[in-house]
Amino acid sequence: MLKNLVLALCLGGLSLSACAVQNEPAAAATAAVTPAVREMVQKAIRSLAPNINVDVIEPAPMPGFYQVIASGQMLYISADGKYMMHGDLIDLGRKQNASDDAWARFRKAELAKVPESERIVYAPANPKYTISVFTDVNCGFCRALHEHIADFNKEGIAVEYLAWPREGLVTTAGGPTPTYTEMVSVWCAKDRKAAFTAAKQGRPPAPTTCVNPVKDQFNLGVRLGVNGTPAIYGPDGRTLGGYVTPEQLLQALKQGG
């Protein structure tokens, strides 16, 4: 994985989070993203990890660099292709994470491609907000979050779940992980919502299989930077946290506009 490779090359990183929206244009000192730039960036990244998929390349907020999202990681590549930085870019003047906007745009666009029919949805009649939640049926915090589902709906929040088995898809022996198998059974159940809630309560469904989106949703989560569950994203693609109470979630959504 690119993450492990990059971390092995870097001494460390600074990680901060911020709620404020930053809409400043990218630094003009970095050239536009031409086909030649794309080739340079991909060559630079693949010199370290040949099989990495590059999702986004755009001018960085700082001069002389391009901002790149690749395999769930935020990278910064110098315009001459000689240097790479990994992690968040902090605007010290504003005390904000300057990487948040790029992540939000990417997540919003990618999540919009997932049909509602492939999600497990709990929604009030006329939702004020809709959130996307990557979840694992056996995760303690995910179970605690789901206990508040009626309260979320009462506050006008629609919750749309996507599958993200924390164990991954395949065991070291090569077979499917137990959680992946269970989540496939949930998504293949006649009544998904009933099977989902029962699994959250420790009552897994009868094993079954069908054409299902669990693998695709897990891989999507990896591309979006999910590294734990629950992972909650607002309608604008911004991260709203992991386990939160209905009051905390509503406040975060109001702050995001």
Residues with active-site annotation: 136, 139, 142, 166
Long-range contacts of 188-194 (CB under 8 A, 24+ apart): 188/212, 192/120, 193/120, 193/122
d(CA 241, CA 232): 6
d(CA 212, CA 112): 18
Q: How many CB atoms lie within 10 A of CB 32?
A: 8
Cβ(182)–Cβ(169) below 8 Å:
no
Minimal CA–CA distance to 251: which of 150, 160, 113, 129?
129
* Residue 35 in tokens: 């086909």
| Residue 225 backbone dihedrals phi, psi, to 5 degrees | 90, 15
| Residue 161 backbone dihedrals phi, psi, to 5 degrees | -90, 140
| Residue 159 backbone dihedrals phi, psi, to 5 degrees | -110, 120
For CA atoms 253, 102, 100, 75, the dihedral sign is positive
CA 93 to chain centre: 27
d(CA 41, CA 219): 23
